[in-house]
Amino acid sequence: MLDGLSSGEIELVGRKVRLTHTDRIYFPEAGITKGHIIRYYLDISPLLLPHLRDRPLNLERFPEGVGAESFYQKNASAFFPSWLRTFSVDYPRAHKTNRHVLVDDAAGLIYLANLGTITFHAFLSRIDDLTHPDLLILDVDPPDLAGLTREESFKPVVETAFLLREELLALGMAPRVKTTGKRGLHLGVSLDRRSTYNEVRTALTELFTRLSERRPDLMSRAVRKEKRRHRVYLDALRMAMGATVAPPYTVRATAVASISMPVTWEELATLEHSQVYTVANALARVTSVGDLWAPLVTPGA
C-alpha cells in the first residue's frame, strides 16, 4: 500500500485544493485512510476523468468513513468553489432543481474526494443532450445475499452476464463488462443518442423479460426481493432520467475499498467475485492493460 496524501494545500491544474483529515481511517478492516483514497483518485484520474466528463454527478459521501453515517448529494453546496462547474437539472416530481457538480479535471475530483466522497455516481447522458443517453448499462444485481458468500452470489451473476452478451452480440452490439465493486456486474454499450431514456428502458425491459422467461430459474425482473429470492435481478431502472450508475474506477464503500473495474470476457470466466480489484491493486492493473472501457466514452472509437 502506497502512502496516502497528507493534509495541507496542493495545487492541481492551477487550482489550490486544501486537504483535511487525511489520516482519518476510512476503511477500518483494510487500514485505508482518507489520504489513501485521495491518492488513489489522483493516480487514477487520467482513466477516470473521461468517464465523468460532462455528466451530472451524485456524490456518495462518508465523511467519517465507511462504518459511519453516509448520504447522497445531488445539489452542490453553496460553499463549493466557484471554479467547480455545475449543471442544473429539474426534478419536476420533487418540485425542485438541483445544481449537479461536474468534474472536469483532477482539481475537481480531489476537492470532492476531500469532502468524503467515496463513490461518484454519473448520469448516462451528457449535458449537451441530457434527455438522450449515450451509454446503455445492463445492471446485473446479485441474488438475495442472506447466507451467501461473495463467491456464491457471483456465480449466477456471471452466468447471466454471458447470456446477456450473447443476446447483444446477436443484435450486432459488442458489450464491454466491468465489476461494480459491490456484488454485481455492469455490461456497457455505446448509444447514438437517438433514443430517449424511456425508449431505451422499454427496449431493455423487453430484452430482460425475454431472457428471464427463458431462464426463470436464474433471473428475475421483480423489484421485490421476496419475489426474486435466490435469482439474479435484471435491473432496467438504471436507464431512467435522473438515475445514475457507478462509473469505472470509482471506489465502493466495502470493507476492502473495492473499485468498479473493467475486465475482459475471458477474465470474467474465472473471476471469483466483484471485489477482486481494490484501491490497493488497481493501479498496477491499469498500468498494464489500460482502460478497457475507454471506447465507450471516446468519440469516434
195 scored as a contact of DNA (CB under 7 A): no
Q: Are 228 and 144 in contact (CB under 8 A)?
A: yes
Out of 2, 13, 94, 284, point to the residue binding DNA (CB under 7 A): 94
How many residues lie near Mn ion (CB under 5 A)?
4
Distance from C-alpha of 213 to C-alpha of 210, rounded to nearest angstrom:
5
243 scored as a contact of DNA (CB under 7 A): yes
139 scored as a contact of Mn ion (CB under 5 A): yes
Considering only 55-63, 150-158, 160-168, 253-261, which stretch makes contact with DNA by CB under 7 A? 55-63
Q: What is the H or E stretch that residue 6 is in? A: none
Out of 9, 11, 92, 192, point to the residue binding DNA (CB under 7 A): 92
54 scored as a contact of Mn ion (CB under 5 A): no
Considering only 62-70, 117-125, 182-190, 273-281, which stretch makes contact with Mn ion by CB under 5 A? 182-190
Residues with Cβ within 8 Å of residue 246, at least 6 apart in sequence: 119, 120, 121, 122, 180, 181, 186, 252, 260
Residues with Cβ within 8 Å of residue 166, at least 6 apart in sequence: none
Which three-class secondary structure string do you get for 22-84? CCCEEECCCCEEHHHHHHHHHHHHHHHHHHHCCCCEEEEECCCCCCCCCEEECCCCCCCCCCC
Distance from C-alpha of 260 to C-alpha of 272, rounded to nearest angstrom:
14
1 scored as a contact of DNA (CB under 7 A): no
Distance from C-alpha of 264 to C-alpha of 245, rounded to nearest angstrom:
20
Distance from C-alpha of 116 to C-alpha of 65, rounded to nearest angstrom:
8
201 binds, among DNA, Mn ion, none (CB under 5 to 8 A by kind): DNA
283 binds, among Mn ion, DNA, none (CB under 5 to 8 A by kind): none
24 binds, among Mn ion, DNA, none (CB under 5 to 8 A by kind): DNA
Q: Are 89 and 56 in contact (CB under 8 A)?
A: yes
Q: Are 160 and 140 in contact (CB under 8 A)?
A: yes
Q: Which of residues 140-179 bind DNA (CB under 7 A)?
A: 141
Minimum distance from CB of 215 to DNA (Å)?
19
45 scored as a contact of DNA (CB under 7 A): no
Out of 60, 134, 141, 291, point to the residue binding Mn ion (CB under 5 A): 141
Interaction site with DNA (CB under 7 A): 18, 20-21, 24, 34, 58, 61, 63-64, 69, 71-75, 77, 79, 91-94, 96, 98, 114-116, 139, 141, 201, 205, 222-227, 233, 235-237, 240-243
